[in-house]
């Protein structure tokens, strides 16, 4: 595992659990608003942390930490991901995985082995804007397949979209809704404009608006209530 960062404690990243966070190094997307550029751009990579030392720390925290969150970067590009997660499960931790959904075969394998207890998958954009926003050649069919895999996993899952005003608007969010199904949990997140993969800071003051203050959010939540989709707004 290429571990680019490690946070020993978090009360925010796994619902109801005190968790450690492992940040994997490397990603197949290049979303301009990514706020972990040091985990995405190889030119900004630092020396990876020793996997053994991270595992040793976690062994010592058994009974105090309840969960481990694996995020990135994109965890599913790690060739030894499955073996690493097995070690976490052997230690008794709950595991939450953040993913962009671009490797459905990896997700399917992890689901079949019941190695992940909570999934969080990004929906970057409506289907026709996916390559523009992610700056990748990912087939949208892979994204849709990953969504269905998580729905059928029997585990908790959530989908989330970062509202990046410079590339799409509320009409596009309405088209993201078309990808959601009854029973889904969906978060619409505000975008950060500092410390991003591309320099967006110059226009931050012009585009940043609190989503909670936008009337369109109430419309989105009402739509969710009507269609049995649990929609929440995440503000900075």
b/e for 76-89, b at 16 or more Cβ within 10 A? bbbeebeebbeebb
Surface-to-core class of residue 187, CB atoms within 10 Å of its CB (0-12 exposed, 13-18 middle, 19+ buried): middle
- How high is the mean pLDDT of the chain? 92
CA angle 84, 13, 177 (to 5 degrees): 105
What is d(CA 84, CA 21) in angstroms, rounded to the nearest whole number?
14
Q: What's the pLDDT at 212? A: 74
Point out the least confidently predicted range of 96-110, 127-141, 158-172, 188-202. 188-202
The mean pLDDT of 166-170, rounded to a whole number, is: 83
What is d(CA 103, CA 96) in angstroms, rounded to the nearest whole number?
17
Does 194 score more than 60 pLDDT? yes
What is d(CA 220, CA 147) in angstroms, rounded to the nearest whole number?
20
Q: What's the pLDDT at 213? A: 75
Secondary structure, 3-state, the chain: CCEEEEEEEECCCCCCCCEEEEEECCCCCCCCCCCCHHHCCHHHCCCCECHHHHHHHHHHCECCECEEEEECCCHHHCCCHHHHHHHHHHCCCEEEEEECCCCHHHHHHHHHCCCCCEEEEECCCCHHHHHHHHCCCCCHHHHHHHHHHHHCCCCEEEEEEEECCCCCCHHHHHHHHCCCCCCCEEEEEECCCCCCCCCCHHHHHHHCCCHHHCHHHHHHHHHHHHCCCEEEEECC
Q: Sheet with 3-10: list strands edge to edge.
A: 3-10, 19-24, 67-71, 94-99, 118-122, 156-163, 185-190, 230-234
Instruction: Note the pLDDT tens digit of each residue in 9-54.
Output: 999 999 999 999 999 999 999 999 898 999 999 899 999 999 999 9
What is d(CA 16, CA 132) in angstroms, rounded to the nearest whole number?
35
Does 142 score more than 70 pLDDT? yes
CATH number, domain with residue 184? 3.20.20.70
162 or 212: which carries more pLDDT confidence?
A: 162
pTM: 0.93
Does 217 score more than 60 pLDDT? yes
Does 202 score more than 70 pLDDT? no
Instruction: Note the pLDDT tens digit of each residue in 78-128.
Output: 999 999 999 999 999 999 999 999 999 999 999 999 999 999 999 999 999
The mean pLDDT of 185-210, rounded to a whole number, is: 75
140 or 191: which carries more pLDDT confidence?
A: 140
Domain extent for 26: 3-234
Q: What's the pLDDT at 91? A: 97
Q: What's the pLDDT at 190? A: 86
Does 187 score more than 90 pLDDT? yes
Does 236 score more than 70 pLDDT? no
Work out the pLDDT band at 167, boundaries 50, 70, 90: confident
Neighbour count for residue 50 (Cβ, 10 Å): 10
Q: Tokens 């289907």 map to which residue?
A: 127
Domains: count for the chain: 1
Does 200 score more than 80 pLDDT? no
């Amino acid at each position: 595992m290429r571990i680019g960062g490690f946070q020993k404690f978090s009360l925010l990243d796994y619902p109801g659990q005190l968790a450690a966070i492992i940040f994997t190094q490397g990603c197949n997307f290049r979303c301009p608003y990514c706020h972990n550029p040091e985990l995405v751009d190889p030119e900004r990579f630092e020396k990876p942390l020793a996997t053994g030392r991270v595992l040793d720390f976690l062994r010592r925290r058994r009974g105090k930490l309840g969960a481990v969150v694996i995020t990135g970067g994109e965890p599913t590009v790690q060739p030894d991901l499955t073996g690493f997660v097995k070690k976490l499960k052997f230690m008794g931790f709950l595991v939450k995985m953040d993913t962009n959904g671009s490797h459905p075969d990896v997700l399917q394998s992890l689901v079949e082995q019941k190695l992940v207890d909570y999934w969080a998958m990004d929906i970057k954009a409506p289907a026709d804007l996916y390559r523009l926003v992610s700056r990748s050649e990912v087939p949208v069919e892979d994204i849709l397949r990953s969504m269905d895999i998580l729905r059928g996993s029997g585990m908790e899952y959530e989908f989330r979209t970062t509202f990046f005003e410079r590339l799409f608007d509320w009409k596009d969010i309405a088209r993201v809704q078309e990808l959601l199904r009854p029973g889904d949990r969906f978060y619409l997140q505000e975008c950060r404009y500092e410390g991003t993969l591309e320099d967006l800071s110059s226009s931050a003051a012009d585009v940043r608006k609190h989503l909670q203050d936008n009337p369109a959010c109430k419309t989105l939540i009402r739509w969710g209530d009507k269609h049995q989709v649990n929609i929440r707004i995440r503000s900075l």
